[in-house]
Chain A
């Protein structure tokens, strides 16, 4: 475990990956914000259907998308869901997904508050 206490948003790291292109970063954040609610919905759908494979794949997608913008807490939580999707109780997965949903709402507030 390298990230015991990940940041809500590690913008400097994400920006560096994009070659310091601030405009591109903003564009990617916009895409992420627009797309994430649908991704979270698909994750919830997967849980309801008890489709573990879908849950795992969807958590993987959320992890990967979150990493792009440096949303480290989202990334870490999605990674956890991906890791346990095949084995954990559905109840526990539902709990984790609820936490992830809340984390996304927090991230939106954080993004709106400027940084």
Chain B
């Protein structure tokens, strides 16, 4: 599996990177602009991401805007569910409006920070990204 971690905080990046390591080959983007660049480049070079872990609260381009751009990029190319990238929003905001907004914009799941391994693995399993005993390259 190929994953992109979008996170502006260093500590959060490290946590996600380490928790995803057994399951995915991970790239990192430190802000929304970089995330969109990475997403488009991966798609254009025919090695799209299977999963994007997307932080909501980031300076400049936030997670909601990035998600919107991703989905409109996919729609323009007729990439439709379930073929698009799976997006898990990562958020410290327990504000239901924020999460609802993200679902409306087309995220598949969300995990609340501080991120726990159990929660992350549970969501990835539900999305069919991993099965039991899945490791990198599968």
Contacts and interface: CB of A to CB of B under 8 A. Distances in A.
A89 interface: no
Nearest to B10: A35
Contact of A64 (B14, B114, B116, B118): B114
A63 B94 CA distance: 13
B36 interface: no
B137 interface: no
Interface stretch (A65-73, A95-103, A104-112): A65-73
Interface residues of A, number: 23
Interface string A24-65: 100110011011000000000000000000100100110111
Q: Is the interface of A mostly helix, strand, loop or mixed?
A: helix
A19 B117 CA distance: 6
B59 A31 contact: no
Interface of A: 14, 16-19, 21, 24, 27-28, 31-32, 34-35, 54, 57, 60-61, 63-65, 67-69
Interface of B: 8-12, 14-15, 18-19, 57, 59, 92, 113-118
